[in-house]
Every structure is written in C-alpha cells, then in structure tokens.
Amino acid sequence: MKKLLFLLTAFTTLFFITASTAYSIPCKQKAPVTKPPAPTLYEQLGGEPAVDAAVKGFYDKVLADDFQGC
C-alpha cells in the first residue's frame, strides 16, 4: 500500500510539473536587431541628378568632337 501511495504521489507530482511547464506562457522575445541595408551604387553616386549630369557631360563632349572617321 505504501508503494502504491508513493508511486501515485510521484506520478502526480511529475504530471503537474510537466503540465505546468508545457503550457506555460512563453515570454516575449525581442525582435532581432537588423542593420539598415547598405546604399546601392546608384545611391552612392548621387542618384538621378548625378547620373543625369554625367550623361549630359558625356553627350556634350561626344557632340563637340570633330572626328571625321578613318
């Protein structure tokens, strides 16, 4: 009888311990810290205004050239 009572007590204790940990409310985890994305090459060069200026300067030089061919 004592063995049965001991086993029942042990089983009940283990049941409540595992039940309380299995259904406990998880703590809120912090969101991982992420770095902002690195700027693209286009952004590093200055974006649309810089590219427009470079293209305009290129065309100005090409159109001003007097090259007549071979």
DSSP 8-state assignment for residue 69 = -
Average pLDDT over residues 58-68: 89
Average pLDDT over residues 14-30: 66
Average pLDDT over residues 1-26: 67
pLDDT of residue 40: 95
Please list, in sequence order, all residues whose beta carbon lies within 8 angstroms of the beta carbon of residue 42, skipping any fewer than 6 positions away. 51
Please list, in sequence order, all residues whose beta carbon lies within 8 angstroms of the beta carbon of residue 21, skipping any fewer than 6 positions away. none
Question: In the predicted model, is pLDDT for residue 39 greater than 90?
Answer: yes
**Four-point Cα dihedral 20, 23, 24, 25, nearest 10:** -170
Q: Which residue has the higher pLDDT, 39 or 2?
A: 39
Average pLDDT over residues 23-45: 83
